[in-house]
Homo-oligomer: A and B are copies of this chain.
Amino acid sequence: MMSVSPPLQVFGFWRSIASFRVRVALNLKGLAFTEVPVDILNGAQFSAEYDRLNPEHVLPTLVHGETVLFQSMPIMEYVEDLQPTPPLLPKTPADRAYARALALVAVADSHPLIVPRVRKQLAAAFGAREPAVNDWCGHWTREGLQTLETLLARRAPSPFAVGDTPGLADICIVSQAVAAGFFGIDLAPFAAVARLHDTCLALPPFAQSHPLRQPGAPAA
């Protein structure tokens, strides 16, 4: 791992799918970082200390000297600017846009619908109980997987989503597959996504970033 000056600090949490993405990006680049856990299951994201870093109270936050960054996609693009090789984005504008769009199917159109604050609001606004909330999360997770499956089937991975090296699109697609695991969703109907998940998780930068490999995670 390459050390960075000033050092890179990620405020993340084992269970946070967006923290997983940033961890993979840093590991693919070989950039050293330390992670400070913010326990979102216990409301630590609402502390005054974390609010100063991230007034949206979400994870992750990247701190790099005076620079404080939030939202996983811009953080990954910053990491790409900081250390251009190996690249996380393809070379042509059209391919870059396609990679970013694949990423956003997960990051914008699926994942924000199942995060803790949304689950809480479903209970508060509609009296939804846990099984119904889990069904809701399953529904949107499958919708995202189905869109990704259709896109990957139309433009076959070779073997990664946009070319022969893993990047931003792969990170976000795999994050969606990992989230599916938390809801016990079978990936079998999403064969191309499942293959990409397996291909990526065979690589150390993905494997060592997995939520269940982080401090504080349950055994299985």
A56 and B100 contacting across the interface, CB-CB below 8 Å: no
Alpha-carbon distance between A108 and B118 when the two chains are bound, in angstroms: 13
Whether A44 sits at the interface, judged by CB under 8 Å, is no
Segment with Cβ contacts to B, from A8-16, A128-136, A188-196, A197-205: A128-136
Q: With both chains docked as a complex, state the minimum distance between the C-beta of A17 and any C-beta of chain B, in angstroms.
A: 12
The distance in angstroms between the C-alpha atoms of A78 and B74, with both chains bound, is 16
| Measured CA separation A147–B67 after assembly (Å) | 19
Q: How far is the CA of A78 from the CA of B103 in the complex (A)?
A: 15
Contact with B along A163-183 (1 / 0, CB 8 A): 000000000000000000000
Residues A78 and B93 in contact, CB atoms below 8 Å apart: yes
Interface assignment of A101: CB less than 8 Å from any CB of chain B: yes
Tell me the residues in window 116-138 of chain A with beta carbons closer than 8 Å to chain B beta carbons: 118, 121-122, 125-128, 132, 135-136
Q: Given the complex of chains A and B, what is the CA–CA distance between A140 and B58 in angstroms?
A: 15
Tell me what chain A mostly uses at the interface: helix, strand, loop, or mixed.
Answer: helix
Number of interface residues of A (CB under 8 A): 46
Which of B55, B107, B150 is the one whose CB lies under 8 Å from A55? B150
Given contacts A55-B147, A112-B109, contact A97 B122 (CB under 8 A): no
Asked if A70 lies at the interface with its beta carbon under 8 angstroms from chain B, I say yes
Give the residues from 54 to 89 in chain A that come closer than 8 angstroms, CB to CB, to chain B: 55-56, 58, 64, 67, 69-71, 73-75, 77-78, 81-82
* Contact A74:B58 (CB < 8 A) given known A112-B108, A126-B126, A132-B125: no
Q: Is the CB of B74 within 8 A of A104?
A: yes
Interface: A113 (CB within 8 A): yes
Q: Which of B78, B94, B104, B113 contacts A94 (CB 8 A)?
A: B78
Q: Tell me which residues across on chain B come within 8 A of A81, comparing CB atoms.
A: 93, 96-97
- Bound state CA distance, A45 and B22, in angstroms? 33
Q: Are B69 and A94 in contact (CB under 8 A)?
A: yes
Residues in chain A within 8 A of chain B (CB atoms): 55-56, 58, 64, 67, 69-71, 73-75, 77-78, 81-82, 93-94, 96-101, 104-105, 107-109, 112-113, 118, 121-122, 125-128, 132, 135-136, 139-140, 147, 150-151, 154
